[in-house]
Amino acid sequence: MNIHYDEKIDALYIHLDNSDIIESEEIKPGIIFDFNEDNKIVGIEILNVKANLPQANLKQIQFEIV
């Protein structure tokens, strides 16, 4: 998994898999899922992060496995 935040355009991309992206779907305004040929989600893009994520602090991202 790879997470990339572009501060200039205020967009976050979560790359879940190395599969080729076959289709993308905007599930809500500014929230886009990317799908592979097996219709599995391989990426998530969030546009206008500051407006879509409450109290987003993208300079410090925590990852937890439970």
| Series of mean pLDDT values for 10-residue runs along the chain (66 residues) | 89 94 96 97 93 71 70
- Number of structural domains found in the chain: 1
Query: CA-to-CA distance for 11 and 4, rounded, in angstroms?
Result: 8
Query: CA-to-CA distance for 34 and 8, rounded, in angstroms?
Result: 22
Residue 26 included in any domain: yes
Residue 62 included in any domain: no
Residue 57 included in any domain: no
Query: CA-to-CA distance for 66 and 27, rounded, in angstroms?
Result: 27
Q: What is the predicted pLDDT for the residue at 65? A: 73
Answer yes or no: are the C-beta atoms of 22 and 35 closer than 8 Å.
yes
| Percentages (nearest 5) of helix, strand, coil residues in the chain | 5, 40, 50
